[in-house]
């Protein structure tokens, strides 16, 4: 899956506020060795994703090549260059989860949501991703919705989990 970078979709005043916040984060980390990942995490928390113009700001303010920033963003799966849904669903596809039905869970979710891996539903509610391991191998298959981990997931359990999120729960 290749993500394409989008520009910041904030209104101008919100964009300026977001860039000011990112600049403040950079000021906190500027002279700390190996701080790029922390800055990227905070920038993504502020903007929701890391479009090219945010990467350019970080590269410029931290005085590092844009290629370095973009390389880190594209290497780590927890960074995104495109906006994500209100809820991010991650299905573990590590060995234990895959063998115990993770692939079936992914296929069910793709059909149920009408999206492919890495895509967001048209209503902006859910983004579907895969992950390699949650550390819950003994209770596989596992999936996460946002920060909540669900273990021993099956098709029926997926439906019950979704009801909760459709109703605005967490």
Q: Which of 75, 99, 125 is the last residue of a domain?
A: 75
Q: What is the pLDDT of residue 168?
A: 67
Residue 112 lies in a domain: yes
Q: Domain range holding 57? A: 12-75
Handedness of CA 111, 114, 117, 120 (dihedral sign): negative
Global pTM value: 0.70
Q: What is the pLDDT of residue 22?
A: 95
Residue 144 has pLDDT above 80, yes or no: yes
* 70/132 same-domain check: no
Q: What is the mean pLDDT of residues 5-16?
A: 61
* 147/91 same-domain check: yes
The reply to whether omega before 44 is within 30° of 0 (cis) is no
* 68/124 same-domain check: no
* 38/95 same-domain check: no
HSE-up of residue 76 (Cα within 13 Å, Cβ side):
15
* 66/110 same-domain check: no
Residue 6 lies in a domain: no
């Amino acid at each position: 899956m290749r993500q394409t970078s989008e520009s910041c979709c904030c209104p101008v005043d919100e964009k300026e506020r977001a860039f000011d916040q990112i600049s403040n984060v950079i000021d906190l980390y500027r002279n700390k060795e190996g701080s790029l990942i922390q800055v990227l995490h905070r920038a993504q928390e502020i903007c929701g994703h890391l479009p090219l113009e945010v990467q350019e700001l970080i590269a410029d303010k931290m005085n590092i090549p844009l290629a370095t920033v973009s390389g880190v963003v594209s290497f780590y799966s927890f960074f995104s260059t495109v906006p994500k849904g209100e809820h991010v669903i991650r299905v573990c596809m590590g060995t234990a989860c895959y063998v115990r039905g993770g692939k079936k869970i992914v296929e069910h979710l793709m059909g149920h949501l009408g999206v492919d891996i890495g895509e967001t539903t048209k209503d902006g509610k859910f983004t579907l991703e895969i992950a390699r391991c949650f550390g819950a191998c003994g209770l596989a298959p596992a999936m996460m919705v946002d920060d909540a981990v669900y273990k021993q997931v099956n098709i029926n359990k997926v439906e019950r989990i979704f009801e909760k999120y459709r109703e605005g729960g967490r």
